[in-house]
Structure 1
């Protein structure tokens, strides 16, 4: 029974190594890492990604598919829910590093199945909503920067685009500031800066090409 860690990165600021390190620090033992780089989770289904397709070929009943969170599988509600249900149908266990959630098809109790499916739907919907909110914040930040007649770059942000995305995603799931700081390697002040003024934070990234 193998544990396959799937990582997806969509920008140059994100790294596979960071996602794997986070998983191992959380106590997960990984047998193999499969990753897609420079791939959008919004517009490209898991089954259409070069390495994502491999998962459907290599995962067998009893294997575990480990991801940082469900948004690594995708940021489209229908795609994420279809993907998780297909893997469960095959007997694959899906686990997340964040929150330590486990999804499988073992239970036959209809009430437990309903609760499990509702949680999957909620997480998939949150992944899509977070992607849309992040894009909106980035657009607003860019417009804010462009709209200033005296626009200047100012101090370089203390966070990358990946960390900005991670903070926004964790905040939407109710993760505490201290935990987010430890998870992302940022200071509490940086996390609060993103939390309290996401548009200004996005504007800073935009000015510096983030």
Structure 2
């Protein structure tokens, strides 16, 4: 059985090292890393990415696909659900670092299959919704920074863009502020500021060019 970590690395919100270290800290023993750099999870289907395409040829029955979260596969509902179901049908087990979720074809019970498929659909929909919300927050942050003319930056944020994304994702999944604080190393107050007013948090990142 091969354990393969797939990482999608955008230019601003993630790094490959961050995704690898999170997986290793969660106890995964990674045999191989497949990574796409600088590709959009909204615009590029998994099959259309140079490395994402390799997963369809590489993964075999009994293998494990590790993802930081399902949004690494993409941020398009249909693409993500199609990809996950394809791999499951092929006998691949999918596990996520965040929330330690497992998706596989082990069960033959139709009710359990329905629950599994509903969870896959929910996570895929959340990934797309979160991407749309992030775009809105980014635009609001840029406009706010323009309105202020860059004259007052305020205090430099205690978080980078990767941590900002992690807080948003975990909050969307229902994690409490204390749990997110422990996971990210941010103060609970910083987590609450990001969770409750992402536009202002995004504006702070834009003002500092983060």
The normalised TM-score by structure 2 is 0.94
Following the alignment from structure 1 to structure 2, what is the Cα–Cα distance between the partners of residues 67 and 122?
16
Following the alignment from structure 1 to structure 2, what is the Cα–Cα distance between the partners of residues 17 and 185?
17
Question: Could you say which residue in structure 2 is the equivalent of 1:117?
Answer: 117
Question: Could you say which residue in structure 2 is the equivalent of 1:72?
Answer: 72
Q: 1:149 to 1:69 in 2, by over 3 A?
A: closer
Following the alignment from structure 2 to structure 1, what is the Cα–Cα distance between the partners of residues 64 and 5?
8
Q: Decide whether the 8 Å contact of 1:11 with 1:162 is kept in 2.
A: no
For structure 1, the residue ranges without an aligned partner over 5 or more in a row are none
More displaced 10-residue stretch of structure 1: 174-183 or 14-23:
174-183
Q: CA deviation at 1:68?
A: 0.8
Question: Could you say which residue in structure 1 is the equivalent of 2:140?
Answer: 140
Q: Decide whether the 8 Å contact of 1:22 with 1:183 is kept in 2.
A: no
Q: CA deviation at 1:39?
A: 1.1
Following the alignment from structure 1 to structure 2, what is the Cα–Cα distance between the partners of residues 179 and 57?
38
- 3-state SS of paired residue (1:155): coil
Deviations 1:141-176 (A, max 9, x none): 111222236742222222111211111111111112
Q: 1:55 to 1:10 in 2, by over 3 A?
A: same
Q: CA deviation at 1:13?
A: 5.2
- 3-state SS of paired residue (1:154): coil
Following the alignment from structure 1 to structure 2, what is the Cα–Cα distance between the partners of residues 82 and 152?
46
Question: Could you say which residue in structure 2 is the equivalent of 1:198?
Answer: 198
Following the alignment from structure 2 to structure 1, what is the Cα–Cα distance between the partners of residues 177 and 70?
21
For structure 2, the residue ranges without an aligned partner over 5 or more in a row are none
Q: 1:48 to 1:156 in 2, by over 3 A?
A: same
Q: 1:103 to 1:149 in 2, by over 3 A?
A: closer
The number of equivalent residue pairs is 210
Displacement over 4 Å in runs of 4+: none
Question: Could you say which residue in structure 2 is the equivalent of 1:185?
Answer: 185
Question: Could you say which residue in structure 1 is the equivalent of 2:24?
Answer: 24
Question: Could you say which residue in structure 2 is the equivalent of 1:51?
Answer: 51
Following the alignment from structure 1 to structure 2, what is the Cα–Cα distance between the partners of residues 158 and 46?
33
The normalised TM-score by structure 1 is 0.94
